[in-house]
Every structure is written in structure tokens, then in C-alpha cells.
Chains A and B, each alone.
Chain A
Amino acid sequence: MSAETRETERGERGPLIEARKATRIIAGDVPATLVADIDVSVSPGEFVAIIGPSGSGKSSLLYLLGLLDRPTSGEVFLDGAATSALDDDTRADMRLASLGFVFQFHFLLPEFSARENVMLPMRALRRLSEKAQVARADMLLEQLGLNEHAHKRPDQMSGGQRQRVAIARALANDPKVVLADEPTGNLDTHAGERVLEILRELVDTQRRAVVVVTHDLALAARADRQIRIVDGKIAI
């Protein structure tokens, strides 16, 4: 059996992202434990909410799952492959091709239009031709109800629009997992509802995995599963 076939099978059966005994301690005079002994796994077609009080370590866990941070001990698997010992470039490549991020603040590049922001990950990945990149960016913007705003810069859009552009950018390279850190935190109820619908749809219609950090209980209630973090540990 070739390595490639094994990958595919594992991808279909096993979890997309898995943390095993993941612990993140920040060294210092007083070492700070951000998260400890976390076991989490997220499979395709799953919408997982990470909930818990402020400062409990939700974001820290999301950074570990999203390969933005490395666990001090334990391991994080992406598609069955251990990631913590990989070099920075390989982890960057994995983020680019397989993961999509949405943060509380939109984090768009201010000088570029909505379409250019959405195209950026595609241009970095270079899987599509330039023409196809433009077409895909426009398609994503349209799905998110932004087709009229493709040429606007972030400062010409509302908070909800910006956050939707950020979601479109997160989806640019057709990632297996979308990780969102309080994506509705800065939005009014209506705009927050809209973002939530979009994420839900990703899971239901495209069998993507979505991990959302939130302290909005209404949002969390729409998830398939809730993981509650208290003081950096999973609480039941």
C-alpha cells in the first residue's frame, strides 16, 4: 500500500486535527501554563465550539490546533501527521494549504481591496492560474454576499463586511479546517448571525471541519460539540 493511499484513507476515517496531551507553558520567572494536557480531535463535517471563561486558554488552544504555536509537550496531528517537530517552513506550508483562520479582529491588509485580500493566500500557494484566482475570489465574495464590495478597501466596509471578507480569505485555498477565534465578537447580533450561518453551511454542505472559539452561548449551542476549557484544562 503506497503512502499516498494511506494518507487518503486516514484522511477519510480519522480526525483532521487532533491534540494529544497538548501542553503549552510559557517560560519565564513565573512560568505560565496556557493550556495543559488537552486531548481534542476534530473530524470532517464537525462543527466544534471551544467555550470557557475569559483567560481560560481558549485562544491558546486554537493557536496550537492551527499550527501557529508549538506545544511544549504533547503532540498536535494534522491529517494524522505529527506536526510539532516540523520546521517553520513546512508548518507555514501546511497552514497555507490546509488551514483557514478567522480572528476576532478582521486582520485584513489595509492597502488591498477585498478581492486582493481574498486572493492573497491563493497567490502564495500558486495552485491556480491568476485568472482562476480572480474567479475564485469573486465566487467566494459572492457566496458571502459581498460581490458589490470586491473593490473596496477594508476601511470602506463595515465590521460585518470585513469579517466576511476575512472568512472568504480563510476559505481561499479550500482548507480542510477553518479555525475561528471569536469571529462574532466585534459584530452586532445580525452580522454575527450571518457569520455563524456561513460557518454552519461550510460544515453541512462541504464537510469542512470548523473550530470556533466563543463565549457566546447562543453561538455555541449551534455547534455539534462543545469543548469547555477552564484554567487551561478541559472541564466536563
Chain B
Amino acid sequence: MSYVLDIALTHLRSRVRQTVVGVMGVATGVGFSIMMAALMEGSQADFIRQLVDSLPHISVSDETRNPPRQPAETRYDVVQIDGLRTPVVRPGIKNPMAIMASIESWIPGAIAPSVQAKAVIRYAGRDTATSFTGLDPKREQKVSKLSTQMRQGSLDALYKATNALILGDGLAKKIGARVGNTVTIVSGAGRTLDCTIVGIAHTGVAQIDDASSYGLIKTGQILASQIGLVNELRIRVADALQARAVATRIEAETGYKSVSWQEAHEDLLSAFEVRNIIMYTVVGAILLVASFGTFNIVSTITHEKARDIAIMKSLGFRAKSVRRIFVIEAAAIGLVGALIGWALGYALTRAMGSIEIKSPFMDTSTIPVLYSPLHYALATIVALASSLFAGYFPARKAAAVEPVDIIRGAS
């Protein structure tokens, strides 16, 4: 072992109590940082997962991003014409089957057609708004988790009755309807349809479960009074994080507005960013405070050891070697503290992850936590860096000691 390391560790060993206090300071900082990161990222990941699972990754709709161009605008590119009435265009995606086939040829995922319609459910004399989705049960299984989120019945049950309907469980509860009941749907297009409830779905996102109803595409087309209508293509990609890039390409190829889940929830994602900045600031502050302890210990040792430092320098130790002794002490405290902090952080995360919570927006569940080696690595790097920083200044001061100043006083 190098003599410098030997001396450093001897200093720490002969000051067990101070060293333990310093190590525990760092360990607490690292432990709570890890727990906090696990909680913050856990809840974020959980929330995103719920979002991603309950909605298609990409929704291609019959809208366009800009209002349709007037013929005059196309002809003269400098003019912009306002106040004209847009010609009535038949809603829906044109040639949906051809577009689906072309997207399917390259997309890393699955695609399903759907018909969206705003409607009102009339039951027991009360009207309740619903957003109706007409879907293809076979294809839907590949683009959303709906088939796995059925509380009662199944998607395939939609084939078993004419005008079969699945309700979100919140909606069913609100109107007081059960499987087997018949409800009346009145669409925005003015069509009235008697439907049989064949299933209850539960996505876990209250906003969706309180308002959604599902049926076959054909039912949707009847409600919209338009044969062959498909006004949304729902897509699920293998890697949810690729959704934005895939959506951009689809929009470029088809001209239809194509919205990824990231774009749909841009506001949420930026709120997460703010949350992360807050988290990293707090975590950084915790670790910085922990390094004050390290500073305190190293600077106490350099004071207590002033005479030993003078001896070492008089024997011929270079200033650099003396500085290294105390930097090593700080690093050792930081390193051991970080390692104990890992255990503490893991234990705290486990404990937090086993606490049950009730939320009005989500199901009762345990607090979501995320285990990531990155959290451990980051906390360690920050703890080590701040320990080294904290140790460097007293170490530099110690190394600058002029041995004669101390030897003169002592002899």
C-alpha cells in the first residue's frame, strides 16, 4: 500500500467517531437522493405508462394542421385570404384502407381504424355525454390495451349483438347501467340508436373511464350518418419513445394530422421537466450539505495533525504527497458513505414502494418507484465530487504548512 494511502487511512481509523459521522452524513445524503429519484421517476414513469397504455401511441385523424388553402392562395403565393367560407368537405380519411396498407408496410408496430363520434347516452330519462369510439375488435387488440382492460365481457362480444356497446366503468356507474341493459345513443348527426351493453372497460385513467363508450366501426358510421367513414387511425409502435418520429413521417406521407402521445401531452411532459429540475436541485443540495461534514472532518484532522504534517514535510515529503493524504481521506469518506448510501437508498426505496395509496384519479396501488442504476451512479458521482471538493481546500492548506514554523514553536 502506498504510504500516502496508509497514513490517510490511519488518520481515519484513529478517529472512528468523527469518521463514522462523516460517512453517515454522506450515506444519508446518497440514500435519500436515491430514494427521491426513485420516487420522482417512478411516479413519472408510472403516469406515462398509464397514458401510453390507455391511448394509442399515435393518432392519425382526418384533420389538417392548417386551414384548407383557398384556390386563390394557391394561385398567387403572396396573398392570404381571410373571411372566406371554407367549402364543406366530406369528413373522414380518404381511402383509409389504402393508407393503412401503406403505413403498415414500414411501421414498426400495428395500426387500427376507428370512428370517433360525440354522442349522448340516454338511459333512465337522463342524458350523459360520451365520446364514442367505433373500432375493429381484431385490430384494436394490437393497438391498445383495451382488450386486457375489460372488467366484464370482451371486445369480441361486440359481434354478439346488434349495436353492441362497451362502456367505461365510470360512465356505466354514472348512468347506472349494467351489462345486458339497453341504452339509447343520440349522435351529433341526429341519429338515434338503441344499443345493448355487452361489456365494461376499465383503463385506470378516470378521465377516460368516465366518458368513453366503444362499439363496432359500423355502429360509429351509422351514428355519423356516413357509410365507410374512418376518421381516426390508431397506431401502436413497438417502442413508445419512437412515436414522435413515426408520427412525423406518417404526417409527411399522408398529409393527415398525426399526433404522437408525446405531442398530445406536451404540457405534462414539460411539467415533468420542471419537476426533474426541482428534484436534481434538491438532491444536489442534500449531497452538498453532506459534504460540509466531510469538510469539517478533514479540516479538523489537518489542524490536529499540523505537527505530523510538519514532520513529514521536514523528512522530505513533497507538498503534493501531503495534499494527497487529506484528499484521500475525503474521498474515502465519500466513497464509503456512497456505498452505505446505496444500501440505505435501496432499503428506503423498497419501503416507499410498499406503501399503499388511494388516489381519486387512479386505482389504489403502491407508490410507484423506479429502480435505476443511473440514480446510484449519479448520487455517487455527485457525492464523491463534492467530498473531493470539500477535502481539497483543507488539504491544500495543510500542504502549504512551512515545517519550520511548527518545529520552531514545538522545540
A contact set with B: CB distance below 8 Å: 59, 63, 66, 68-69, 88-89, 92-97, 99, 101, 103-105, 107-112, 120-121, 123-125, 169, 181-182
Contact B7 A109 (CB under 8 A): yes
B2 neighbours in A (Cβ, 8 Å): 123
In the assembled complex, the CB of B311 is this many whole angstroms from the nearest CB of chain A, namely 5
Give CA–CA (A97, B318) in the complex, Å.
Answer: 12
Contact B311 A92 (CB under 8 A): no
What would 10 A/B residue contacts be, using CB atoms closer than 8 Å?
A63-B408, A89-B320, A92-B313, A92-B317, A93-B316, A96-B315, A103-B411, A107-B314, A121-B315, A124-B316
B313 neighbours in A (Cβ, 8 Å): 92
Contact B7 A96 (CB under 8 A): no
B contact set with A: CB distance below 8 Å: 2-3, 6-7, 10-11, 13-14, 307-308, 311-321, 403-404, 407-408, 410-411
Beyond A66-B314, A92-B318, 5 additional pairs, beta carbon < 8 A:
A68-B407, A96-B317, A101-B315, A105-B411, A111-B13
Contact A124 B3 (CB under 8 A): yes
Contact B411 A124 (CB under 8 A): no
Give CA–CA (A94, B408) in the complex, Å.
Answer: 21
Contact B316 A123 (CB under 8 A): no
B404 neighbours in A (Cβ, 8 Å): 63, 68-69
B410 neighbours in A (Cβ, 8 Å): 103, 105, 107
Give CA–CA (A92, B307) in the complex, Å.
Answer: 17
Contact B314 A124 (CB under 8 A): no
In the assembled complex, the CB of A195 is this many whole angstroms from the nearest CB of chain B, namely 16
B320 neighbours in A (Cβ, 8 Å): 89
A95: contacting residue among B3, B11, B316, B321, CB under 8 A = B316
A101 neighbours in B (Cβ, 8 Å): 314-315
Contact A104 B10 (CB under 8 A): no
Give CA–CA (A165, B408) in the complex, Å.
Answer: 21
Contact B307 A111 (CB under 8 A): no
Most B CB within 10 A of own CB, among A69, A169, A182: A69
Contact B307 A107 (CB under 8 A): yes
B411: contacting residue among A59, A111, A120, CB under 8 A = A59
A88 neighbours in B (Cβ, 8 Å): 318-319
In the assembled complex, the CB of A176 is this many whole angstroms from the nearest CB of chain B, namely 13
